[in-house]
Amino acid sequence: MFIPCAIGYGQLLIIVLVVLLLFGSRKIPELMRGMGRGVKEFKDAVNKDYAAENDSSSEKQQAHHKN
């Protein structure tokens, strides 16, 4: 099966080299830290929305059973 968006090792190496050339080795840790924070904030927001959705659906079920 062919996956058109799959990235091989060669392409990944080229991407890493281009990033190093563009940003330099000193900026990479700062960029990765920022990306990590962004991913964490995104996951926290998704989990918060998921928890709120589950809470509201359980409240609706409890209200339905009371009637």
Amino acid at 14: I
Query: How confident is residue 2, by pLDDT bands cut at 50, 70 and 90?
Result: low
Prediction pTM value: 0.50
- For 14-63, how does the pLDDT look when each residue is reduced to its tens digit (9 = 90+)? 998 898 888 888 888 898 899 999 999 999 999 988 888 777 666 666 66
Residue 33's pLDDT is 94
**According to the model, what pLDDT value does residue 42 have?**
94
Give the number of C-alpha atoms closer than 13 A to the C-alpha of residue 17, restricted to the C-beta side.
Answer: 6
Q: What span, in angstroms and rounded, lies between the C-alpha atoms of 15 and 20?
A: 9
CA 17 to each of CA 12, 28, 58: distance values in angstroms, whole numbers, following the listed order: 9, 12, 50
